[in-house]
A and B are shown apart, each in its own frame.
Chain A
């Protein structure tokens, strides 16, 4: 029972981080129909921005804010000077569906190389603001720690803010209208170009939070070749697909399914299955519910 609760809490924590990454990918997908593999690189770069900030002000939460702003600016920059041009020149023909994928893959490597150039290839450390020693219940010590609790709180807070932004504000309505029907959005007077850039910026900020939280959820180390960030991209992508590539709620459900199942596989089945568990979930999802948990059958491709 004790072990079960422990696993559950660990799964929820990683699920929360995956949800954020999934949301970052969904925001870009919805605004420009691009599967953004560079998202892992952007999150990595943003986390290095946070690391740099912590050198000057020893406060993780302010560094998190700076990482978000840096991530937003980086994403907006990529959209404006790179993707806009690319999508314009490759909008038709066989290349149209492949070009953005190859381009973002290339961008991922470019960002990695630039990070190595600036910060070197060795591990750097980001100090967690809260204890990573688990809570104790009687004589038992949980793996679930104050830091993990704070991670869940940050994700819940961020998701609530984004949910209000999407559902209750004119900015949210512009984002949704531009995603579902760019032409009608334009006819309603929305500057779809600007809204797209904003969607990317929002995605960059969300990815930055995922990156910063990922590092302090682990052992605090960060490197350009980080396997954790590659896994974060894959997990986020799978969570987004499982959730239906469409809604905020879908990405949270997708993230939780992924976080919980990998945690339970790790605890109860085998260490060696840890890396393939996400892919098994992806295959099952694509075979059983290709439209995603919340996606509508036969509906518009999200």
Chain B
């Protein structure tokens, strides 16, 4: 069970957002996709989860063609996407946001046990389960967004900038949580981040995007010690 992306091209109108992107994510591994603003990171995830149509190329997950069918189908094949900027619905309660993640699942007792797992991971969410999501802090919302994704019983987690807008201490906590979740549930993860160093530190491998093209890829440790990557993306 691997995510295989091969020569993927995605356009916004006439403009190429993703050009000939190729990478693989082995099962249970975490791949960080880093790059500056506008590098096409979010577009890549949106194409993989079925929110955005691709122009050409291949993307497969468990022999399932990701470029065919749409988001509501992909989630049934174990793909959960936490989209950019606090992927929760503020008008619903905390528990309703979680239930939303499991709404397509037929087996309700399994869904209940997923909820217990999420509450065990993020006890704060259980304390606030009846509260309106609008009352949560930024960090709590990000926990909820990840919790909602876990409620869909994913095998592949697509995370878009989970650190966006969070204080440094919270960023550290969120990254630890992501790393633990990946190990605990054996999940494959594609983690899109501008916060390149933090992302690479918990990743097995990394892909560096610039203007929609892969400019560097390899083991996370190799990328961290690569002088060119350090200068351009890690800030020293």
A233 within 8 A of B: no
A300 to B83, CA, bound (A): 19
Q: Which residues from B are CB-within-8-Å of A183? A: 51, 71, 83
A183 to B71, CA, bound (A): 9
Given contacts A186-B70, A187-B81, contact A174 B103 (CB under 8 A): yes
Across the A-B interface, give the 5 residue pairs with the lowest CB-CB distance, nearest first. A189-B104, A189-B75, A186-B71, A188-B100, A180-B91
A189 near B72 with CB under 8 A, answer yes
Chain A positions 181-200 with a Cβ under 8 Å from a chain B Cβ: 181, 183-192
B92 near A180 with CB under 8 A, answer yes
Q: Which residues from B are CB-within-8-Å of A185? A: 100
Chain A positions 25-59 with a Cβ under 8 Å from a chain B Cβ: none
A173 within 8 A of B: yes
Q: Which residues from A are CB-within-8-Å of B148? A: 188
Q: Which residue of A lies closest to B82 (CB)?
A: A187
Chain A contact surface mostly: helix
B126 within 8 A of A: no
A200 to B142, CA, bound (A): 33
Chain A nearest CB from B151 CB (Å) reads: 8
Q: Which residues from A are CB-within-8-Å of B51? A: 183, 186-187
B58 within 8 A of A: no
B42 within 8 A of A: no
Interchain Cβ contacts under 8 Å between A and B, 13 examples:
A174-B103, A176-B96, A177-B92, A180-B90, A183-B71, A184-B100, A185-B100, A186-B71, A188-B148, A189-B76, A189-B152, A190-B72, A190-B104
Q: Which residues from A are CB-within-8-Å of B70? A: 186
B194 within 8 A of A: no
A174 to B104, CA, bound (A): 10
A192 near B92 with CB under 8 A, answer no
Chain A positions 160-178 with a Cβ under 8 Å from a chain B Cβ: 170, 173-174, 176-177
Chain B positions 152-175 with a Cβ under 8 Å from a chain A Cβ: 152
Extra A-B contacts (14), CB below 8 Å, given A177-B103, A184-B83: A173-B96, A176-B91, A177-B92, A177-B100, A183-B51, A183-B71, A184-B87, A187-B51, A187-B80, A187-B81, A188-B100, A188-B103, A188-B148, A191-B72
B104 near A180 with CB under 8 A, answer no
Q: Which residues from A are CB-within-8-Å of B99? A: 170, 173
B92 near A187 with CB under 8 A, answer no
A186 to B71, CA, bound (A): 6
Complex partner residue of B103 from A173, A180, A300, CB under 8 angstroms: A173
Pick from B72, B87, B152 the residue with the most CB of A within 10 Å. B72
A61 to B90, CA, bound (A): 40
B89 near A177 with CB under 8 A, answer yes
Q: Which residue of B lies closest to A296 (CB)?
A: B134
0/1 interface trace, chain B 61-95, chain A, CB 8 Å (1 if under)? 00000000011100110001101000111111000
B206 within 8 A of A: no
A174 to B100, CA, bound (A): 8
Complex partner residue of A188 from B90, B91, B101, CB under 8 angstroms: B101
